[in-house]
Homo-oligomer: A and B are copies of this chain.
Amino acid sequence: MADAARALSDEAEVVPVSLGDRSYEILIGRGLLEQSGARAKALGARKVGVVTDENVAAAHLPRVMESLTAAGLDASAVVVPAGESSKSLDRLATVVDGLLAARIERKDLVLALGGGVVGDLAGFAASVLRRGVRCLQAPTSLLAQVDSSVGGKTGVNSRHGKNLIGAFHQPSLVLADADALDTLPEREFRAGYAEVAKYGLIDDPAFFARLERNWRQVFAGGPERTNAIAASCRAKAAVVARDEHEHGDRALLNLGHTFGHALEADVRYDGARLVHGEGVAIGMAMAFRFSAALGLAPEEDAARVGAHLATVGLPTSPKAIPGGVSDAATLLGHMRQDKKVEGGKLTFILARGVGKSFVARDVDAEKVLAFLESELA
């Protein structure tokens, strides 16, 4: 990083992601979007193609464009509709076409400005544009800041399931501007919190206990929120550094996601009924109840997980989804199509307790079915 950019980061928390020649930094702090021009320039870009959605554009695009232009960069923007439906190959085609029309070249930058949908879509577009252009992730939702903007997973959905089409494409920099969360709708902030809690549940019981004590300060903003974001990013960066392409450990990050994705698929990604973080919250509560039902985890840990998620206002049961969901067999069918199926066997992240998650390959489909039936009864 150039000296000028390093000076800029004095007040931001810096979380390094160690991936050899694909290493990068996550910066977490206030006012980072206003620095996007200087940051992009420090990366050696001449042109920057911003990808964002209509909602985020209204809230943040003008100051980002101003920052880019003030830094002497040739800036353009592609704006997509807000919502999960933008994670499609059709929308990818639109975005790539816009970036090509703006003549973004190999040494330039794609700037993903938005939540998880924009990050996944723009990151994927950057990865396939001219067979790979660098991407600067500027996540504006809590979920994107603590999860999707870090680690290089990008992609879109298929009618066969979520994220089935995509690429591993590490960003060159992540700018997590804490100011952006101030304007986030509460439901969206809460959904992102599910991913924060996830890091405690995976392997950090002390972090989960701290969240149980201090979750109100995390929701209110201020230093405890920034700390929680930084702790989450550090946890994710450590897992990604160990296993970039998800051949092993990285699967732990999918705690709650196998059940959660099945529920999202079942409501056809209708965000009015279920957003991703809510699916993860239900999925994590289910993963702990399933672990307890299999005799792996104490019943009280499952109860404790459900209680904390419910306390912050997150759903913890598939029955809480407005309009209800399909039967157990249909939900199991969604899981079979999930890409975390290998050789026809089901892979789940299960737990021996809070902070004691593990990858369980070869989970018996019959037991999953029986558990799902009990959940829906």
Residues of A in contact with B (beta carbons under 8 Å apart): 46, 89-90, 92-93, 96-97, 100-101, 103, 105-107, 124, 127-132, 153, 155, 158-161, 163-168, 245, 337, 339, 341-344
* Extra pairs beyond A89-B89, A132-B245 (12, CB < 8 Å): A46-B343, A89-B93, A96-B164, A97-B160, A101-B160, A105-B341, A124-B128, A128-B155, A130-B164, A131-B167, A131-B339, A132-B167
| Cα distance, A364 to B92, chains bound together (Å) | 34
Task: Say yes or no: A128-B96 contact (C-beta < 8 A), given A89-B89, A105-B342, A106-B339.
Answer: no
Chain B residues with CB under 8 Å of A131's CB are 153, 155, 163, 166-168, 245, 339
Please give me the residue from chain B that is nearest to A129 by CB atom. B165
| Cα distance, A166 to B89, chains bound together (Å) | 13
- Nearest chain B CB to A258 CB, angstrom units: 15
Please give me the residue from chain B that is nearest to A96 by CB atom. B165
Chain B residues with CB under 8 Å of A96's CB are 89, 158, 164-165
| Cα distance, A302 to B58, chains bound together (Å) | 58
Task: Tell me which of B128, B167, B343 contacts A107 (CB under 8 A).
Answer: B343
Chain B residues with CB under 8 Å of A127's CB are 167
Chain B residues with CB under 8 Å of A103's CB are 337
Please give me the residue from chain B that is nearest to A94 by CB atom. B89
Chain B residues with CB under 8 Å of A90's CB are 93
Chain B residues with CB under 8 Å of A132's CB are 167-168, 245
Chain B residues with CB under 8 Å of A166's CB are 128, 131
Chain B residues with CB under 8 Å of A159's CB are 97
B89 contacts A342, C-beta separation under 8 Å: no
B164 contacts A129, C-beta separation under 8 Å: yes
| Cα distance, A103 to B46, chains bound together (Å) | 42
